[in-house]
Amino acid sequence: MKIGVLALQGAFIEHCDVLKKLDAEPVEIRQHGHFSSHLDGLIIPGGESTVMGKLLRELKLLEPIKDAVFNGMPVFGTCAGLILLSKQIEGGGTGPIPVLDVLVRRNAYGRQLGSYRTTAKFKGIGEVPMVFIRAPYVLEAYGGAEVLAMVDKKIVAVRQGAVLATAFHPELTDCIGIHELFIYGRT
């Protein structure tokens, strides 16, 4: 199984390491020629969502990725990846790949100093460690979006069809269950 990992910013190496533990082959996507609709899935890691959107456009990656996702390619977005996949962003606008029926708040936990770790229940997995770094959260999930995890009454993980998104960074923990859910549909 080959899973693309957008390697423009963020903890993409850590996502690749988790994929290897799950016997999946990571394919780092850095430029247009690296992306193929023949991949079995795509991970969009954290980073700065505005910069990532700009880079996707400049590198001519946005349209092929958007087409693949809209045609059913499984995608997993963490932190900024959640924002990039959102149909609504608080204050107006959408993510550049608007497939998730969610309204998201950027930098909801404040500046870098507002970053923290916690554990919470994740539907179908149980208690998981969560690392939040200048994280967003979902203000509202509607339509086909299913809430998978909440922290302090805030939605921090959702799934809609083949799309999975978290406000936190599971790749920065020893938990592989969320990646396993994404790749194999099970834990």
Catalytic one among 171, 175, 179, 180? 171
Residue position matching structure tokens 């900024």: 80
Residue 40 has pLDDT above 70, yes or no: yes
Q: Give pLDDT, residue 45.
A: 96
Say whether pLDDT at 186 is over 70: no
For residue 186, give the DSSP letter.
-
pLDDT, one tens digit per residue, over 135-152 is 899 999 999 999 999 999
- Backbone phi and psi for residue 91, each to the nearest 5 degrees, phi listed first: 95, -5
* Averaged confidence pLDDT in the chain: 93
Percent of the residues in the chain that have a pLDDT greater than 90, as a whole number: 86
Phi, psi of 106 (to 5 degrees): -70, 155
What are the residues whose beta carbons fall under 8 Å from the beta carbon of 134, sequence distance 6 or more? 79, 107, 109, 110, 111, 112, 114, 115
**Is-catalytic flag, 79?**
yes
pLDDT at 9 over 80: yes
Whole-angstrom distance, CA of residue 113 vs CA of residue 90: 22
Rounded to the nearest 10 degrees, what angle do helices 62-70 and 49-58 cross at? 100
For residue 160, pLDDT beyond 80: yes
At 187 the pLDDT is: 45
Candidate list 79, 127, 146, 179, residue with the active-site label? 79
Query: Could you give the residue ranges of the DSSP H alpha helices within 31-107?
Result: 49-58, 62-70, 80-85
Which architecture characterizes domain 2-184 according to CATH?
3-Layer(aba) Sandwich (3.40)
Catalytic entry in 14, 16, 169, 179: 169
pLDDT given at position 180: 96
Q: What's the rounded Cα separation, in Å, for the pair 24 and 43?
A: 12
All structural domains of the chain with their residue ranges: 2-184
Query: Between 135 and 24, where is the model more confident?
Result: 24
| 47 or 76, greater pLDDT | 76
Signed CA dihedral, 12, 16, 45, 53: sign only: positive
Model confidence, pTM? 0.95
Residue 144 near residue 101 (C-beta atoms within 8 A): yes
